[in-house]
Structure 1
Amino acid sequence: MLNAEHRVVLLQHGGLDNLRGKTGLAMLRHRSGPIVAVVDPDHAGCSLEQVTGIARSVPVVADLNAALAFEPEVAVVGLAPSGGQLPAAMRRDVRAALQAGLHLASGLHSRLAEDPEFAACRHPDRWIWDLRQEPQGLSVGQAAAAALPCRRVLAVGTDMAVGKMSACLELLAAAHRRQRPARFVGTGQAGILIAGQGVALDAVRVDYAAGAVETAVLQAGAGLAASDLVLIEGQGSLCHPASTATLPLIRGSQPTDLLLVHRAHQRTLDRVPAIPLPPLKELIAITEALAALARPQGAGPSPAVRALALNTARLNDNDAHAAVRDMEQTLQLPCTDLVRWGGEAVLDAIPS
Structure 2
Amino acid sequence: EDAVACGNIGYPVVSAVAAGHAVLAVELSSFQLHWSPSVRPAAGVVLNVAEDHLDWHGGMDGYAAAKARALLGDVAVAGVDDPVARGLLAAAPAARRVGVTLAEPGPDQLGVRDGMLVDRAFGGGELLPADAVVPAGPPGITDALAASALARAHGVPVVAVRTALAGFTPGPHRSAPVGRVGGVTFVDDSKATNPHAADAALAAAGARAPGARAVWIVGGLLKGVSADTLGELARRHAGHLAGAVVIGTDRAPIVEALARHAPDLPVREVAAGNHEGMQTPGNPMPEAVRRAAELAGPGDVVLLAPAAASMDQFRDYAHRGDAFAGAVRELTAAPTPPGTSRTEGAHR
User: When the two structures are superposed, what TM-score results if normalisation uses the length of structure 1?
Assistant: 0.38
User: When the two structures are superposed, what TM-score results if normalisation uses the length of structure 2?
Assistant: 0.38
